[in-house]
Amino acid sequence: MKITILTYGSRGDVQPFVALALGLQKNGHVVKLAAPHKFNEFVTSHGITFIPLAGDPEEISRLINNAGTNPARVVASMWNYIFSIAPQVSGTAFPACEAADLIIHSFLFTVGGHSWAHEHNIPDISVQTFPMFAPTREFPNVSALNVPPGLFSYFSHWFATQVFWVGGNSGYGPAQRANPDIHYPKKLYWPFDASPHHLRTPLLFAYSSSVLPRPVDWDEHIHLTGYFFLDEESYQPPVELSDFLAADDPPVCVSFGSMVNRKAKGIDEIVRAALSRTGRRGIILSGWGGVENQSSENFLYLKSVPHDWLLPRCKLVIHHGGAGSTAAGLRAGIPNIVIPFTADQPFWGNRVYAVGAGSKPILVKHLSVGNLMRAIAEAESDAVCERAQAIGQRIGSEDGVKNAVELIEIYSQKFKSRG
């Protein structure tokens, strides 16, 4: 099959789809991956055809970080920027779907990707890295953590879906008018409605059931595949990293990934102080945060290192709770300390704590030297270390990409046989 994958966001929103694209290519499919233009080298270095999309995902990170954990402000900040770039993004994304036999879409392309597939009578698959568009009474929407299980939990999912649908519709007309030469779907369709005239689009959640079990009230079109891991087997560490790791006991890894926070310098100072007072060395991955500090005997600053290579060589990881960072931290089998900044991060921080693989999460606005020191002590307890190791072994035994590829191929054949 000729497959187009549509995704948008930070490295954590792109890397899982690189892993999926490689799995599909291994099975003989021809894959195009459309994502923000800054990931061109990352995607093409893995031998995947890349379609560069306009916009700067760092700006999205900056906006939602400024909004904090207030869901209304997060949504408003995100949509305002997305609306501003929607004409350029869609003007490239839809042509990338031409001649495709199947469309795979992630969060921001859920409606647009499905509507294209619906109009062209080809199958489509929705892949999400967090639970969205799947109402349940067992846990609330990721943006409504204080809502109790039950009817209110179900309503929180329904309401979040309505906000997404209305927001996407409001930006569709302006995008069409800005690209009169591009063939847009004539109308928008919701992918997960049951219909006698069209198969319900499968919804694949790329996370492990050992972290968040499948609710009993989900419909059969919803699947948990396991995480999509991209192992950088050819990675060669720089000399300074090899030397730092060999110099003493395993260090703590600090990785806030794609978070662009105006208080990044102060956060770095708190983390350094907490590690120093607890006698821990640290490898600090600055990512998009842009924190610049001099490396020393006990602290090594690097922009990025593949998590699959680095984390198993560390004793503990401190991260922001993004879906990708959480997956890597848990698979490494080491304790996690989650310091959520925004969006779905508090949700994943709570899940890490709930499964016993880390300390209680600390919202970044509550971060201090004292409470981080307490979190380090809690995370290094025997109970947490043993539980983290068990979770890591379980996740390591899963093959999310293989499971997803099988589901994609089965659905595609079912779609074709139905005519």
pLDDT for 186-195, tens place per residue? 889 999 987 7
48's CB contacts (< 8 A; 6+ apart) are: 18, 21, 22, 25, 31, 32, 33
For position 258, what pLDDT does the model report?
63
For position 208, what pLDDT does the model report?
98
Maximum CA pair distance of the chain?
66
For position 328, what pLDDT does the model report?
97
For position 311, what pLDDT does the model report?
97
Which residues, in sequence order, are bridge partners of residue 204?
Answer: 127, 223
The CA distance from 134 to 200, in Å, is 13
For position 350, what pLDDT does the model report?
97
Would you call 301 helix, strand, or coil by DSSP?
A: strand
The CA distance from 286 to 296, in Å, is 15
pLDDT at 260 over 60: no
Quick one: average pLDDT of 198-220?
Answer: 96
Beta-carbon-side half-sphere exposure of residue 393 (alpha carbons within 13 Å): 6
The CA distance from 169 to 171, in Å, is 5
Q: What is the pLDDT of residues 37-93, one digit of tens each?
A: 999 999 999 999 999 999 987 777 776 666 666 666 666 666 677 778 888 998 999
Neighbours of 245 (CB within 10 A): 18
Q: Are 84 and 126 in contact (CB under 8 A)?
A: no
∠ at Cα 377 (374, 378), nearest 5°? 85
Min mean pLDDT across 132-141, 260-269, 349-358 is at 260-269
Which residues, in sequence order, are bridge partners of residue 102?
Answer: 3
Quick one: average pLDDT of 99-105?
Answer: 97
Would you call 32 helix, strand, or coil by DSSP?
A: strand
pTM for this one? 0.94
pLDDT at 355 over 80: yes
Quick one: average pLDDT of 399-405?
Answer: 98
3-state helix, strand, coil in the chain (%, to 5): 50, 15, 40
pLDDT at 386 over 70: yes
Domains in the chain (CATH in brackets) are 2-227+399-418 (3.40.50.2000), 239-396 (3.40.50.2000)
Give pairs for 40-49: CB < 8 Å, separation 24+. Answer: 42/11, 42/14, 42/15, 42/18, 43/14, 43/18, 46/18, 46/21, 46/22, 46/230, 47/22, 48/18, 48/21, 48/22
The CA distance from 316 to 314, in Å, is 6
Task: Please state the φ and ψ torsions of residue 56, each to the nearest 5 degrees.
Answer: -125, 105
The CA distance from 72 to 245, in Å, is 43
Residue in the block written with tokens 């009474």 = 137
Q: What percent of the chain has pLDDT over 90?
A: 74
Quick one: average pLDDT of 345-366?
Answer: 96
Confidence of residue 290 (pLDDT cuts 50, 70, 90): low
Helix and strand numbers (H, E) in the chain are 14, 12
For position 82, what pLDDT does the model report?
76
For position 70, what pLDDT does the model report?
67
Neighbours of 277 (CB within 10 A): 13
Give pairs for 100-104: CB < 8 Å, separation 24+. Answer: 100/2, 100/3, 100/4, 100/32, 101/1, 101/2, 101/3, 101/412, 102/1, 102/2, 102/3, 102/4, 102/408, 102/412, 103/3, 103/4, 103/6, 104/3, 104/4, 104/5, 104/6, 104/17, 104/20, 104/408
Does 171 or 314 have the greater pLDDT score?
A: 314
pLDDT at 296 over 60: yes
For position 419, what pLDDT does the model report?
64
Q: What is the pLDDT of residues 152-177, one digit of tens each?
A: 999 999 999 999 998 878 778 777 87
